[in-house]
Amino acid sequence: MSLAFAILFYVATLVLVVGVAFKVVQYSKTPAPLKIPTTPAPTTTSGVVMRMFREVVFFESLFKSTIWTWIFAWAFHMGLFAVLFRHGRYFHDLLPAVIVGPLKYAAFAMIIGLIGLLVRRFAVNRVRYISAPSDYAMLILLLLIGISGSMMTFVSHVDIVGVKTYFDAWMTLDFDNLILPPDPVLRIHLFLVAVLMLIFPISKLLHAPGIFFSPTRNQVDNPREVRHVAEWAEKL
């Protein structure tokens, strides 16, 4: 079983890294033939960098459009990033205990956010109308990962040193020390995480790298000063 999980994670890591790299290259080569920044938009490149920063860190445009979605989406994402940051301790020794300890409560922000987003998909008529099965599936998958993780953190503790030893062995290809703690919740958690990694490059979760390539957000509003020519058109 320990070996099966190790193989699953090698495959999942490969699919995630190669898949996302492939999509990023594809996005970067996709022509943006028209000047379409959503106005009011910055007129300088540094302005665009600031706009992108506000968009990624604060979800500015979502804040301006739907406050309830913003509350839950922002809580979920900030919780998720704090949780992932805290997970670093399974792979290296750089995080001090003062940070790692309190950050465990970020799991609640993540779970409450996900529940809010899920309720929104059921309860708001116009959102339900445009929701595909995958929209629900992503939220449910992340919710199950969050709940199984929190079970280990807050209910029945898992052998953290054992998890760290396993992933150290996994990273150094040390197959003799590849012993996964025999905790069923941990195995459920890890299996769901592997599923998340495998579907990431073929799902809506690609919005994470994708936002940086969005022409409505990353273009400078200077059509009168600079003639906009798509890369492919320059060759004509």
For residue 120, the tally of other CB atoms under 10 A from its CB is 18
Give me the least distance between CB of 150 and ligand HEM, in Å please: 4
Give me the least distance between CB of 174 and ligand HEM, in Å please: 16
Q: Which is nearer to ligand HEM, 59 or 75 (CB)?
A: 59
Return the CA Rg of the chain.
Answer: 21
Give me the least distance between CB of 177 and ligand HEM, in Å please: 15
Residues whose CB falls within 8 Å of the CB of residue 144, separated by 6 or more in sequence, listed in order: 188, 192
Q: Which is nearer to ligand HEM, 36 or 127 (CB)?
A: 127
Residues whose CB falls within 8 Å of the CB of residue 60, separated by 6 or more in sequence, listed in order: 51, 54
Q: Which is nearer to ligand HEM, 63 or 230 (CB)?
A: 63
Give me the least distance between CB of 223 and ligand HEM, in Å please: 26
Q: Which is nearer to ligand HEM, 183 or 221 (CB)?
A: 183
Give me the residue whose beta carbon is nearest to ligand HEM.
149
Q: Are 116 and 74 in contact (CB under 8 A)?
A: no
Q: Are 203 and 134 in contact (CB under 8 A)?
A: yes
Give me the least distance between CB of 56 and ligand HEM, in Å please: 4
Distance CA 236, CA 228 (A): 14
Q: Which is nearer to ligand HEM, 35 or 77 (CB)?
A: 77
Q: In the complex, which residues of this chain contact ligand HEM (CB under 6 A)?
A: 56, 59, 62, 69, 73, 77, 80, 83, 86-87, 90, 104, 107, 110, 117, 121, 135, 138-139, 142, 145-146, 149-150, 152-153, 157-158, 160, 163, 186, 189-190, 193, 196, 205, 207-208, 211
CA angle 168, 174, 180 (to 5 degrees): 60
Q: Which is nearer to ligand HEM, 84 or 229 (CB)?
A: 84
Give me the least distance between CB of 228 and ligand HEM, in Å please: 25
Secondary structure string (H, E, C) spanning 35-83: CCCCCCCCCCHHHHHHHHHHHHHHCHHHHHHCHHHHHHHHHHHHHHHHH
